[in-house]
Chain A
């Protein structure tokens, strides 16, 4: 096992899949000559040339649509959005186009495209650059939404996403790019739609994904010192949701906290809670509590920003509440 950053794991996945399949190409702003706004595509232009690593103008709607068109006729585009805040400009092509082509063509035309880039907040980027939009995409039938939290998951899931015959929204995190972790040396894939138990425990379950996995694990350590063994479930894929893994853990711990980076209203956690109340009502020993961003645009001031974000202390407090320890 090699230790590498999340960024380099993504880079390795891109390289391996481009080596494997001539139809795979990368396009987006600054992906080629600049080597990537966040250096995820570093070295790919040198290896694969400008035909397969394509710099675009700042035209999210246009180049996403060109990617969707290329995918409709069988290429495997990877469209990098510099951040998912900017992908709002491409929503028409993603939601009205990519997600629906297969259905409205009666199954004649697929759309094997990956749209990827960082989502959610970093540090002090303020209201327009700090948004977690996974629930928007997860709402749409036809889309797959993948959000890895670790380098190993990032590599294995990006490779699976590129090989998927359906459009995949692959949301990374600016704050995750430098995270290091062990990545298997041999080739591997991680299946889409499978959650992962990141820590086992029998007293409460913390369901989380992407950037909330690290604070959830930190919270679990804090709680363990207090005699509460929390199980941490990393969803890894938002759609399709791994309800089996969620319900298995609920059956084990009977107490649940759902943490996510984005806003609570109509968020991913709301869907998770719905699954739990519908399928595991009798298993619950306490109401499920959600931890999420404050219901405000992200403030710039660092103290206000910290107050707005879901973090480990908030998760600790929520777990203590579902365990009736406060």
Chain B
């Protein structure tokens, strides 16, 4: 993986013996689950069942599913606030995620975090952070701890293209490269920081090139191609695990929806035509077509996945709706540790 040229998204294994074939159905199911979950979350938001800010992952499913599939169970994942899909891909229960969005006591963060603050330490899903770029040094911190303890854990840190312009990105990548920390940085480049197109925000729009400044490989990948994402992430994770340091992955993707539920999908900052064009490369449709071409699924399989996922999502909504609000006493707990210390 050269430092200064992009490794394009061509799978290195031949199509006649497709890699990960045994995982394909799981990936497709997870991508469909995220899509349907987010659609339902959007509905619930419109009904006032979810409050505050709510950033949906629709359009970016291949990116989260492909990259997280490359991890071991004890690796770390951390993200910004568009993280529902990443939490699900990491294995968080749909009920716990939806209940958190509803602000209920049964949510993964007991209703205290909400959409932007999903946490589950049982799967090392470390949030859910609301300040652009704030999670980037945290991800390096998990990697620092892994190296300090001599474990083989790797830290996978997600952030958007706009976060690549904030100071924490540059400071962290410099130290991660300097100290060869076992981390993988994934830029989810959906083309827009809220309403600002990347070309209006970054002097060099090929963000993967920034890796060269920090002594790590930079890789560009088609974020709509789940297999391609898996391949580059797997390579980066292996590199980190072997002690060869971090990698910066720039995955090109697209969000079909507005920045948050408060924003329109298109408008003054991007056109309907651009949005429609992006939908021609829908990650789920692309993957379904690929699997059909390989003869790995049939229409009946897709219907079975859709039916099963619909039931899971409906159950999550029902569970969240029926769950109790946090007890009023929860207001003042979890501010400080219940006991003094070590």
Residues of A in contact with B (beta carbons under 8 Å apart): 21, 25, 51, 56-57, 59, 61-76, 92-93, 96-97, 101-110, 112, 141-142, 144, 160, 163-166, 192
Contacts and interface: CB of A to CB of B under 8 A. Distances in A.
A93 B134 contact: yes
Contact of B144 (A70, A142, A160): A70
B336 A142 contact: yes
B148 A105 contact: no
A164 B107 CA distance: 28
B82 interface: no
Contacts of A66: 137-138, 140-141, 144, 172, 175
Contact of B137 (A93, A106, A110): A93
A105 B138 CA distance: 14
Interface stretch (B10-18, B28-36, B113-121): B113-121
Nearest to A24: B342
B111 interface: yes
Given A57-B178, A73-B145, A104-B113, A65 B140 contact: yes
B109 A105 contact: yes
Interface in B96-151: 107-113, 117, 119-121, 126-131, 134, 136-142, 144-145, 148-149
Given A21-B342, A56-B175, A163-B342, A73 B142 contact: yes
B57 interface: no
Contact of B111 (A93, A106, A142): A106
A177 B146 CA distance: 35
A250 to B, nearest CB: 26
B247 to A, nearest CB: 18
B341 A59 contact: no
Given A93-B134, A108-B121, A69 B168 contact: no
Contact of A105 (B117, B149, B337): B117
Given A61-B168, A92-B134, A106 B145 contact: no
Contacts of B168: 61-62, 65, 92-93
Given A57-B175, A93-B134, A107 B334 contact: yes
A63 B171 CA distance: 8
B277 interface: no
Main secondary structure of the interface of B (DSSP, over half): mixed
B130 to A, nearest CB: 7
B142 A72 contact: yes
Interface in B167-186: 167-168, 170-172, 174-175, 178
B171 A108 contact: no
B137 A65 contact: yes
Contacts of B333: 107
Contacts of A92: 131, 134, 168
Contact of B134 (A67, A97, A108): A97
A104 B134 contact: no
A44 B28 CA distance: 53
A72 B141 contact: yes
Contact of B140 (A51, A69, A71, A76): A69
B340 interface: yes
A72 B126 contact: yes
Contacts of A142: 335-336
Contacts of B148: 25, 51, 70, 75
Given A70-B148, A142-B336, A163-B340, 13 more contacts: A62-B167, A63-B175, A69-B78, A69-B139, A69-B144, A69-B145, A70-B141, A96-B129, A96-B130, A105-B119, A107-B333, A108-B120, A166-B341
Contacts of A160: 341
B339 interface: yes
Top 6 closest pairs, chain A to chain B, by CB: A69-B141, A65-B137, A62-B171, A106-B110, A165-B337, A59-B171
Nearest to A193: B340
B76 interface: yes
Query: Interface centre among B108, B119, B171, B339, by most A CB within 10 Å?
Result: B171
Nearest to A142: B335
A143 to B, nearest CB: 9
A241 B117 CA distance: 30
Nearest to B171: A62
A90 B166 CA distance: 13
Nearest to A112: B341
Residue of A56, A66, A101, A163 ringed by the most chain B CB atoms within 10 A? A66
Given A73-B142, A108-B109, A109-B119, A62 B137 contact: yes
A301 B82 CA distance: 51
Contacts of A96: 129-131, 134
Contacts of A74: 145
